[in-house]
Amino acid sequence: MPNCLNALEREENLKILNHEKFDLLIIGGGITGAGVALEAAQRGMKVALIEMQDFAAGTSSRSTKLIHGGLRYLKQLELKLVMETGRERAIAHKNAPHLVHPEKLLLPMIKGGSLGKFTTSLALWVYDVLAGVKGDDKKRMLSKKEILEIQDDLNKDVVIGGGIYAEYRTDDARLCLAVLKTAANKGTVAMNYVKADKFIYSNKKICAVECVDQLNGKKISIKANAFVNAAGPWVDKVREKDDSLNNKQLFLTKGIHLVIDSKKLKLEHACYFELNDGRMIFAIPREEKLYIGTTDTTYEGDIKNPQVNQKDVDYILNGLNHMFPKAEIKTTDIVSTWAGLRPLINEKGKSPSEISRKDEIFESKSGLFTIAGGKLTAYRKMAERTLNYIQKANRLKLKKGNTKNCKLIGAIDNPITIIDKLKEKGINKNWAKYLWQRYGSESIKIINNCKKSDDAALIVSELEYCIKNESTHNLIDFLSQRTSRTLFYPESIDCNIEILAAIAQQLLNWDESKKNIEVHKVREYMKAMITFA
């Protein structure tokens, strides 16, 4: 059987989708769909998954990139949600230590803020208990003097003390890809750029989905016994195709993040702080950059391309500069941005920040199962619930899944082996951490394929790996979802774009016009990230 994630074997895989019948077809290649695919494959189902864009191109590459329990949900008394997501953090770290990293968060308290010393201490204690936090990761309360000793450029006029507690940082898109690759290793046929166009029915039940290949316009039909709609912000669009919208519909909110050079503001720890309006925002160091976010505003625009506007920028920078007045960060200091949409389930009368992040499952009369809402951290439990629901509804006898102990592709605890391999190749050891935090043990394949001892050769080898192992069909997907270079290494793109285009042209059989178009798209994409309406 061809590798479904090899872009060079796409035609063979489309034929498999078109001619075979599956136990389960999943629509949506974000973290929710990927999680359902892995859970179903673990239970012995024959699974297909399709995504109309690139894998993780939507919400699953546009989050705050934290595997966190949601401290603020304690305010809403969502104790079950806090407990579940808190404990899922440790499982995610165990199964993908190269992608999920412990991160201490500094929590300053401010004069007149909603976080008082007693309530903050109590909340952090409850958080630790619910999340099962142990040892050095347990919360610690700090006096004003202690918190300023850790981060001396906090606003001394407003900070009254604080705390420090544990969360986990991740690369959301890479986590999604790792889950998908693990599912593919277990037999799932997963393909991007395949759009579900319309449902086909037999006796009023869905029996197949007519799809369109977004790369060449060809139509295929995928037959299955059960169908899951895991399309994130698009779940209602998919339900409309089935005429199965009910009174529970999505409410989309937008969250934006700004990236600056870490030299502009040096943080000892990630920081989670309160603004004057009571909202909380993060400032998180990553790869010599610092990203800050997020907003939570109602969104009614283009789902595919949410944009960061000047109002968003001003809101985040005003909050950041109030907490760190010496930094004086300006719009011109921003090197990249991203905007993502939260597909929440509408609750009338509640503001965006008050709406629950809990997930729900809907079943239509025609047999379409929709999983909506939820959080990145809870993807594994969401998948469990979805499969349990389908298993009960369709009276299926399946193997017991065990994704709790399922190591993801690339799982490796430390990059020492990778550093040794890099030394052998004479490549700058700074790239070891870069590779490890994206590919884990799979980094060895990239290094072994590296033809020369320089950074340019390394990125070429990386692109070749992503085309042949991660269904990469264009340069933007490689530079964004696969590598996050658009966000955290934007300075590396212009000097490498032509050589990357030449390699992609050779492997993907582009003509000269296609190659030039791809280069132009990347340059326009990079401009759009720092152009604010």
Structural domains in the chain, sorted by start: 7-59+173-249+356-405 (3.50.50.60), 258-345 (3.30.9.10), 416-529 (1.10.8.870)
Q: Cα 58 vs. chain centroid, distance in angstroms?
A: 8
Q: Is the pLDDT of residue 78 over 70?
A: no
Q: Is the pLDDT of residue 69 over 70?
A: no
Strands 21-27 and 66-67: unpaired
CA 166/CA 145 separation, integer angstroms: 21
Which pLDDT value is given to residue 76?
61
Which pLDDT value is given to residue 204?
96
% of residues, the chain, pLDDT over 70: 95
Nearest to 410 by CA among 96, 183, 169: 96
% of residues, the chain, pLDDT over 90: 75
Q: What is the mean pLDDT of the chain?
A: 92
Which pLDDT value is given to residue 68?
79
Number of other residues whose CB lies within 10 A of the CB of residue 495: 11
CA 141/CA 118 separation, integer angstroms: 10
Nearest to 294 by CA among 236, 238, 352: 352
Nearest to 357 by CA among 64, 54, 96, 28: 64
Residue 413 phi/psi, 5-degree rounding, is -80, -30
Which pLDDT value is given to residue 124?
82
- 24-58 confidence digits (pLDDT tens): 999 999 999 999 999 999 999 999 999 999 999 99
Which pLDDT value is given to residue 273?
94
CB–CB of 422/431 below 8 Å?
A: yes
CA 380/CA 249 separation, integer angstroms: 23
- 172-218 confidence digits (pLDDT tens): 999 999 999 999 999 999 999 999 999 999 999 999 999 999 999 99
| Helix and strand counts by DSSP (H, E) for the chain | 17, 18
Residue 100 phi/psi, 5-degree rounding, is -120, 115
What does the block give as tokens for 112?
């007149």
Q: Is the pLDDT of residue 70 over 70?
A: no
Structure confidence at residue 473 as a pLDDT band (50, 70, 90) = very high
The structure's pTM equals 0.95
Locus of tokens 């178009």: 517
Measured between alpha carbons, how far is residue 450 from residues 430, 446, 459, 463, 503 in Å? 16, 6, 9, 11, 13
Number of other residues whose CB lies within 10 A of the CB of residue 187: 15
Contacts of 504 (CB under 8 A, 6+ apart): 463, 467, 474, 475, 478, 510, 515, 518
Work out the end-to-end distance of the chain between its first and last CA atoms, rounded to an integer number of angstroms.
Answer: 48
Q: Is the pLDDT of residue 255 over 90?
A: yes
CB–CB of 462/447 below 8 Å?
A: no
Which pLDDT value is given to residue 79?
67
Structure confidence at residue 96 as a pLDDT band (50, 70, 90) = very high
Exposure string over 282-315, b if 16+ CB within 10 A, otherwise e: bbbbbbebbbbbbbbbebeeebeebbbbeebbeb
Residue 241 phi/psi, 5-degree rounding, is -65, -25
Nearest to 189 by CA among 1, 50, 48, 52: 48
Q: Is the pLDDT of residue 429 over 80?
A: no
Residue 271 phi/psi, 5-degree rounding, is -130, 135
